[in-house]
Amino acid sequence: MEFGPIFRSLLRNRARVVLIVVEVALTLAIVANCLSLIMDTQAQLARPSGFDDEHIVAIQSNPFDDHLRDPAVLNRLVDQDVRALRAAPGVRAATHTSLRPWESSGQITAIRVPGSHGEPTRTQRAETDPGLFETLGIPVVEGRGFAEAEYDHGADARPDEVLPIVVSRALADQLYPGGGAVGKPLADADESQHFQIVGIIDRFYNPFGGNSDKVMFVPGRSVAFDSGSYYLVRTAGDPGSLISQLEKGLLGVEKGRFLHLRTQVENRDEFHGRDRLLVASLNGVMALLVLVTALGIVGLTSFSVAERRRQIGTRRALGADRMAIVRHFLLENWMVTSFGVVLGVALAYGLNFGLVTWVAGARLSPTMVAAGAVALWAIGLGAALGPALRGARVPPAIATRNV
């Protein structure tokens, strides 16, 4: 076998071999972790909200007319807006709510089972009218939704009053892991406000505040002169085609405000914009690293062929065929790449440990590292094949030349 002579030959050229080994190792470590981050990010991008996002319009109403500073006027305006939105042609449902799917805003609260000890559970909280669940396309699978009387009374509820709430399945299972959460009590962190679970929705995902699948809905209006009011509208067809019509209808109710209307798909795409940029950047980094590594291997093999032309000619004169020459250089390259892969596996897990511990990201899977190692072996052999074939074409007569 040729391993022994090739290894001894590599030891005589330590500097350039070490450079390629380090280059391969760094490439494997960085590419494996980039792939892990990309797959984790793409999984988040592909995660469905459970809402009918493709048919929802989000509307922000910000008043500026002084007569809208009166809270009673604002509350009446909310009811008028919802009626106008529901009456618009092509609208299936409309709701007034503080929930803002796919937007970097919201309210986080802490709740607990009354009398329990330990840390309370953090969850998203939103005020809403009874039309939210139909508007989002998320049915109440256990219990019931809100009644109009509960919604009308929500703003006037006393601190000692028990408020009905609808929660997501994830929140219900965490607080009552044995099931049967409907009808059970909850309270805020200091137990100054008490709630009763009246309904459960099955699927919920709103990536805000690290509690993406947990939410509690409370009946009530969320409106103020400074923050305005927020509406969601579910349409029967393309929501974009109804935006101008919805805006005109709301301005017909009250002109003393600014309106901002966007489709939920636009909000979702904007929310994921940074993640898509991250994926594109990581893809670019990986492509550049692989290209630089491949060029380094090509350069090393080409230099090795040029340096040993007389040795190649001597081997050819002694009877070595062209395939033997090609095999020699490919085996040499495979050995160098293998040293880099071994070092790269250690670096990959070290880098991943640092990312998971101090930054963010998913743990590196052995499959990912193995795939990266195989890919680098293939890239290395492919990069060395051209120079190796050129070396195989060196004629035996070159061995007799002095210059």
Q: Is there a domain that residue 52 lies in?
A: no
pLDDT-above-70 percentage for the chain: 91
Q: What's the chain's average pLDDT? A: 86
Q: Does 43 score more than 70 pLDDT?
A: yes
Least confident of 131-135, 164-168, 207-211: 207-211
pLDDT at 72 over 70: yes
Report the pLDDT value the prediction gives residue 9, as an integer from 0 to 100: 65
- The count of structural domains within the chain is 2
Decide: 201 and 166 in contact? Cβ < 8 Å.
yes
Tell whether 216 and 283 lie within a shared domain. no
Residue where one domain finishes, among candidates 189, 206, 221: 221
21 and 129, same domain (yes or no): no
What average pLDDT does this structure show over 263-281?
Answer: 90
pLDDT of 60 above 90:
yes
Tell me whether residue 357 is in a domain. Answer: yes
* Tokens 């305006």 belong to residue: 77
Q: To the nearest whole percent, how much of the chain has pLDDT over 90?
A: 42
Collapsed DSSP state (helix, strand, coil) of residue 236: coil
Tens-digit pLDDT profile for residues 380-392? 888 888 887 877 7
Residue where one domain finishes, among candidates 189, 205, 221: 221
Q: pLDDT tens digits for 114-157? A: 988 888 999 999 999 999 999 999 999 999 999 988 887 655 56
Residues 193 and 296 in one domain: no
Higher-confidence residue of 84 and 160: namely: 84
pLDDT in the model for residue 230: 95
- Tell me the pLDDT band of 403, cut-offs 50, 70 and 90: very low
| Closest alpha carbon to 161 in 205, 219, 242 | 219
Do both 214 and 283 map to the same domain?
no
Tell whether 147 and 214 lie within a shared domain: yes
Given a cut of 70, whether residue 158 has pLDDT beyond it is: no
Q: Assign 284 to helix, strand or coil.
A: helix
Taking residues 31-37, what's their average pLDDT?
88
Do 391 and 300 belong together in one domain? yes
Regarding whether 388 and 288 lie in a shared domain, the answer is yes
Q: Which long-range contacts (CB under 8 A, 24 or more apart) does 66-75 make?
A: 67/256, 68/225, 68/254, 68/256, 68/257, 69/225, 71/223, 71/224, 74/223, 74/224, 74/225, 74/229, 75/155, 75/221, 75/223
| Helices 309-317/366-392 angle, 10° precision | 70
- Structural domain contains residue 160: yes
Residues 21 and 113 in one domain: no
pLDDT bin (cut points 50, 70, 90) of residue 400 is low
pLDDT of residue 17: 76
Backbone φ/ψ region at 348: left (φ over 0), alpha (ψ -120 to 50), beta: alpha
* pTM, two decimal places: 0.76
Q: Is residue 287 part of a domain?
A: yes
Q: Is residue 85 part of a domain?
A: no
* pLDDT for 209 beyond 80: no
Q: Residue 198 belongs to what domain range? A: 102-221
Give residue 4's pLDDT band: very low, low, confident or very high (50, 70, 90).
Answer: low
Q: Which two tokens stand for residue 379?
A: 């890239």
pLDDT-derived band of residue 112, with 50, 70 and 90 as boundaries? very high
pLDDT at site 185: 95
Residues 301 and 384 in one domain: yes
Per-residue model confidence (pLDDT) at position 320: 72
182 with 286, same domain: the answer is no
130 within some domain = yes
Residue 232 included in any domain: no
- Please state, in angstroms and as integers, the Cα–Cα distance from residue 295 to each residue in 202, 332, 382, following that order: 53, 16, 11
Mean pLDDT, residues 37-65 taken together: 90
**Is residue 297 located within the same domain as residue 199?**
no
Whether residue 166 has pLDDT greater than 90: yes
User: What are the CB-based long-range contacts (under 8 Å, 24+) for 83-86?
Assistant: 84/249, 84/250, 84/252, 84/253, 85/59, 85/231, 85/233, 85/246, 85/249, 85/250, 86/131
- List residues bridging with 126 in a β-sheet: 217
Domain-ending residue, one of 221, 236, 261: 221
Residue 60 lies in a domain: no
Compute the average pLDDT of residues 291-304. 81
**Domain co-membership, 34 together with 133:** no
Within 10 angstroms of residue 110's Cβ, the number of other Cβ atoms is 13
**Cβ-Cβ contacts under 8 Å for 314 (sequence gap 6 or more):** 396, 399
Kindly state the DSSP code that residue 316 receives in the 8-state scheme.
Answer: H
